[in-house]
Amino acid sequence: LDQSNLSCVQDNLSNILDTCITELNETHLKYLNESEVDISPLLQPEHITEIAECISAEKPLDVRLNALLLLLKSHFTEAVTGEGWFLLQKNLVENLCDSNIEIFSICLKVHAKLASCS
């Protein structure tokens, strides 16, 4: 992270982290637990760029939420080596600075999951 992104993330963390878990929409957690959709093909290297584009700040909120939820539910073995990895990293960092609590909290969980996989 560069200094401006780090500062933004620290501000978000200090202001939001305590309420992050409680503010997470229960319907999203229920969706993650009950979903029967097999998303494993989405994590093939050729699809990582598409997912990364879906979490761009330019996309509508619902598109970004769905893409982040897919990432949260997914395995990252292929994702971290794919061609779209740089764009995925860039857009994940941008989402950490988002003012929407759902985007921020799900993105933070995706970062935690990535950190635990490495």
HSE (side-chain half, CA atoms, 13 Å) at 77: 3
Coil, helix or strand at residue 76: coil
The predicted pLDDT at position 36 comes to: 46
pLDDT at 21 over 50: no
The predicted pLDDT at position 103 comes to: 94
Percentage of the chain beyond pLDDT 70 is 54
For the chain, give the mean pLDDT.
Answer: 74
Residue 68's pLDDT band (boundaries 50, 70, 90)?
very high
- 3-state DSSP of 7-33: HHHHHHHHHHHHHHHHHCCHHHHHHHH
pLDDT at 34 over 70: no
The predicted pLDDT at position 94 comes to: 94
Average pLDDT, stretch 96-111? 92
